[in-house]
Amino acid sequence: MPHTFKIVAAKAGEYRVQFVYNSEIIVWSENYKSKASAKNAIASIKKNAPEAATVDLSAGETGKGYRFEIEAAKNGEHFVRFRARNGEIMVRSETYTSKASAKNAIESVKKNGPKADTVDESLAAKPAAAAKK
């Protein structure tokens, strides 16, 4: 399965963005109140991620503008965030045991994000959620 952006249903009628490869979620967003906001986030990542700087916060580096950040988790592993120009976190990754894996996640978003298709899975999830009530 190629790299794909997914819009998925979240709690309380909200939406979340995921960037996926081979059913593995590489990065995901916080919840958005509207689907339009989720779509705008995807468009921004596609446009701005390829040229964004990578800042290794775990090594004391700093940055501003659109950027990927590598951060150390409390357990000593590393995770990735992508920040917008205004400092808002757009997406983040799971924790990785090696910093090299975190860098690979960044490269995947930079290289494959711009041409990735977007799939709206939020509609498919909502009827199932309604059936559980």
Say what the pTM is: 0.88
| Architecture in CATH for domain 4-123 | Roll (2.30)
C-alpha 86/C-alpha 32 separation (Å) is 17
C-alpha 3 chain-centroid distance: 12
Would you give per-residue pLDDT tens digits along the chain (133 residues)?
Answer: 699 999 999 999 999 999 999 999 999 999 999 999 999 999 999 999 999 999 999 999 999 999 999 999 999 999 999 999 999 999 999 999 999 999 999 999 999 999 999 999 998 755 444 444 4
Question: Where exactly are the structural domains of the chain?
Answer: 4-123
